[in-house]
């Protein structure tokens, strides 16, 4: 049976941007940056190939050297990184697309070999996550973190602001703040990883403070109609909250107060069970006046249903966009999809990156 997917191909006004359809390319770590953690020319090709998406969200890009947690992820803190990202945004715009950059600080999900001076990764508390990172030799356990001192927080907020300014210089159409998936902002929000007793720990309001301040830092540079945020209430990367419903009700209310263009919600466990946690996503969506981007394991028909029923404004796809540069056209035609090849997700070159065929080439 083929569901009527018309709803997916209606334009949408997302803050200050006009999108031609409801399909978003999710941020996807691909570990293909060059020396200096700059985007390569093949990265410009990769995103431009996918420019028919209503919106592209870049792979997570560290706001500082300290914010890096995996090998060969791109940064947005050095002049060279800005210059190389400029080639990507130019290529996407020439192809008729729109692209936001995802601003990323991994917090404790890192390794000493990736940190400035070989130091310990930083987090809210000195609690090591039971999770892996990606290094030269492959996947490896993350290192023991140290707790950020209160005096270091203003510097991190300045890194968000500088990265936001660099993103503008690099020609992006806006930014997404990565507050999901067990990275720094999520670590501060969730009580499993945040055992602080200062103004950034304890109450829900205190734990949410860094996320809200990071958003305010970005809003010094960008109009609110060009800023969104990604959230993941479920446990991910060993980062879990004892009451995600209460926590995220508060967070979404605060974000609504800032007038952000969208919240991008990973519903359930990232890349896993959509029902992993008892959170009322529809309730969160209704308490936010901006747009709602739904994500996690959606098929074409699920997405059509979510958008047609008003449960989502936009739907983000990760693995399907890796394997199908022309996903929008394939969904329009209800055409068969290429299968993503897991072995080429992280690291490497053009294979599994810019070489997935479009419908016309496959025919």
For residue 68, state whether it binds ligand PHB (rule: CB under 6 A): no
Helix 204-219 to helix 244-258 angle (10° resolution) is 30
Task: Supply the minimum distance, in Å, between the C-beta of residue 65 and ligand PHB.
Answer: 17
For residue 49, state whether it binds ligand PHB (rule: CB under 6 A): no
For residue 29, state whether it binds ligand PHB (rule: CB under 6 A): yes
For residue 70, state whether it binds ligand PHB (rule: CB under 6 A): yes
Task: Supply the minimum distance, in Å, between the C-beta of residue 309 and ligand PHB.
Answer: 27
CB nearer to ligand PHB: give 46 or 331. 46
CB nearer to ligand PHB: give 272 or 358. 272
CB nearer to ligand PHB: give 91 or 180. 180
Classify residue 90 by burial, with Cβ atoms within 10 Å: 0-12, 13-18, 19+.
Answer: middle
Residue in 46, 183, 281, 298 annotated catalytic: 183
Residues 180/60, Cβ–Cβ less than 8 Å: no
* Residues 256 to 295 in contact with ligand PHB, rule: CB under 6 A: 270
CB nearer to ligand PHB: give 65 or 319. 319
Helix 153-169 to helix 204-219 angle (10° resolution) is 30
For residue 60, state whether it binds ligand PHB (rule: CB under 6 A): yes
Residues 241/190, Cβ–Cβ less than 8 Å: yes
CB nearer to ligand PHB: give 138 or 257. 138
Residues that contact ligand PHB, how many (by CB under 6 A):
6
Q: Using the 8-state DSSP alphabet, how is residue 333 labeled?
A: H
For residue 125, state whether it binds ligand PHB (rule: CB under 6 A): no
Return the structure tokens found at 274: 């959509």
Q: Supply the Cα-derived Rg of the chain in whole angstroms.
A: 19
For residue 317, state whether it binds ligand PHB (rule: CB under 6 A): no
CB nearer to ligand PHB: give 49 or 62. 62
Task: Supply the minimum distance, in Å, between the C-beta of residue 308 and ligand PHB.
Answer: 28
Task: Supply the minimum distance, in Å, between the C-beta of residue 29 and ligand PHB.
Answer: 4
For residue 75, state whether it binds ligand PHB (rule: CB under 6 A): no
For residue 211, state whether it binds ligand PHB (rule: CB under 6 A): no
Q: Using the 8-state DSSP alphabet, how is residue 77 labeled?
A: S
User: Among residues 66, 110, 181, 324, which is the contact residue for ligand PHB, using CB under 6 A?
Assistant: 181
Residue linked to tokens 């309730």: 283
For residue 77, state whether it binds ligand PHB (rule: CB under 6 A): no
Q: How many CB atoms lie within 10 A of CB 240?
A: 17
Cα four-point dihedral sign 224, 152, 83, 326: negative
Classify residue 18 by burial, with Cβ atoms within 10 Å: 0-12, 13-18, 19+.
Answer: exposed
Task: Supply the minimum distance, in Å, between the C-beta of residue 2 and ligand PHB.
Answer: 32
CB nearer to ligand PHB: give 249 or 270. 270
Q: Where are the alpha helices (DSSP H) in the chain?
A: 41-49, 79-94, 153-169, 184-189, 204-219, 244-258, 281-286, 300-308, 319-323, 327-333, 359-362
Cα distance between residue 26 and residue 116, in whole Å: 29
- Residue 212-251 contact track with ligand PHB, rule CB under 6 A, x = bound: ----------------------------------------
Q: Is 183 a catalytic residue?
A: yes
Cα distance between residue 285 and residue 263, in whole Å: 8
Q: Report the interface residues with ligand PHB, using CB under 6 A.
A: 29, 60, 70, 180-181, 270
Q: Which residues are catalytic?
A: 183
């Amino acid at each position: 049976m083929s569901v009527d997917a018309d709803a997916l191909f209606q334009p949408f006004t997302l803050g200050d941007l006009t999108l031609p359809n409801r399909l978003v390319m999710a941020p996807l770590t691909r570990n293909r940056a060059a020396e200096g953690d700059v985007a390569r020319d093949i990265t410009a090709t990769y995103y431009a190939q996918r420019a028919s998406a209503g919106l592209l969200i870049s792979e997570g890009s560290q706001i500082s050297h300290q914010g890096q947690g995996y090998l060969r992820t791109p940064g947005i803190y050095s002049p060279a990184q800005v210059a190389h990202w400029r080639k990507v945004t130019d290529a996407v715009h020439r192809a008729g697309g729109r692209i936001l950059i995802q601003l990323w600080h991994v917090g404790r999900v890192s390794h000493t070999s990736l940190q400035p001076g070989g130091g310990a990764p930083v987090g809210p508390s000195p609690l090591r996550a039971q999770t892996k990172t990606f290094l030269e030799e492959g996947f490896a356990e993350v290192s023991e973190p140290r707790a950020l001192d209160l005096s270091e927080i203003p510097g991190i907020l300045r890194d968000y602001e500088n990265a936001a300014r660099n993103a503008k210089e690099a020609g992006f159409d806006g930014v997404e703040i990565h507050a999901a998936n067990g990275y720094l902002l999520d670590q501060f929000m969730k009580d499993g990883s945040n055992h602080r007793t200062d103004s950034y720990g304890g109450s829900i309001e205190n734990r949410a403070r860094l996320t809200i301040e990071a958003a305010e830092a970005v809003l010094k540079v960008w109009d609110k109609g060009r800023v969104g945020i990604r959230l993941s209430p479920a446990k991910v990367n060993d980062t879990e909250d004892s009451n995600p419903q209460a926590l995220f009700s508060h967070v979404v209310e605060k974000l609504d107060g800032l007038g952000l263009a969208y919240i991008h919600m990973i519903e359930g466990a990232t890349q896993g069970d959509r029902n992993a946690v008892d959170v009322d996503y529809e309730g969160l969506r209704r308490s936010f006046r901006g747009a709602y981007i739904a994500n996690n394991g959606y098929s074409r028909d699920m997405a059509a249903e979510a958008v047609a029923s008003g449960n989502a404004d936009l739907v983000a796809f990760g693995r399907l966009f890796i394997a199908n540069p022309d996903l929008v056209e394939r969904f329009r035609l209800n055409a068969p999809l290429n299968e993503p090849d897991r072995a080429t997700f992280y690291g490497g070159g053009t294979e599994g990156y810019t070489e997935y065929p479009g419908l016309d080439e496959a025919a």
